[in-house]
Amino acid sequence: MTRNMTCIGCPMGCDLIVEVENGVAVSVTGNSCGIGKKYAETEVAAPTRMVTSTAPSDGGGPVPVRTRVAVPKDKIFDVVADIKATVVKRPVAIGDVVIEDAAGTGVPVIATKAVE
């Protein structure tokens, strides 16, 4: 089976042509770099996305956060719910872990902005 997809690895947005056999990508063309190949393989096997959101903080405004790496696509809303239930203690620096394990994905959520 042939699947056409657009790589989201960077803003280039390469049009990928992926040959799929038994749920596995056996060939990827149209990509400009290794990111495209990897994206196509993951997208076929088990799609993942990085999740970005804001978490409430103790007394300050919202603190922007993200998952350290991409999480399974079907866990996005669970991860967001976890983030919303967390109160970030200030001060916080870029890269500080806010949640150790977001929604059982094993992926930590980190702060993306220093807030005093």
Partner 1 sequence: MAAAIEAKKNGIDDIVILERDVQLGGILNQCIHNGFGLHTFKEELTGPEYAGRFMAEVKRLEIPVETGCMVLSISPEREITVVSRAQGLRVIKADAIVLAMGCRERPRGALNIPGTRPQGIYTAGTAQKMVNCEGYMPGREVVILGSGDIGLIMARRMTLEGAHVKVVAELMPYSGGLKRNIVQCLDDYGIPLKLSHTVVDIRGKRRLEGVTIAQVDARGVPVPGTEEDYACDTLLLSCGLIPENELSLTAGVSINRATNGPFVDDALETDVPGVFACGNVLHVHDLVDFVSEEAGRAGRSAAAYIRRQGQKANAPKVIRVQPGDGVRYTVPSTIDLNNMDGEVHLRFRVRDVYKGRSIRVLAGGEAIVTKKRKIMVPSEMEDVVLKRDALKDCDLTVEIGGGV
Piece of 17-25, 60-68, 100-108 that binds partner 1 (CB under 8 A)? 60-68
* 46 in contact with partner 1 (CB under 8 A): no
* 77 in contact with partner 1 (CB under 8 A): yes
Residues near 94 by beta carbon (within 8 Å), at least 6 away in sequence: 110, 111, 112, 113, 114
* 112 in contact with partner 1 (CB under 8 A): yes
Give the nearer residue to partner 1 in terms of CB position, either 20 or 70. Answer: 70
Residue 114's closest CA among 94, 98, 99, 95? 94
In DSSP terms, which residues pair with 67 in a beta bridge?
A: 109
Size of the site for partner 1 (CB under 8 A): 28
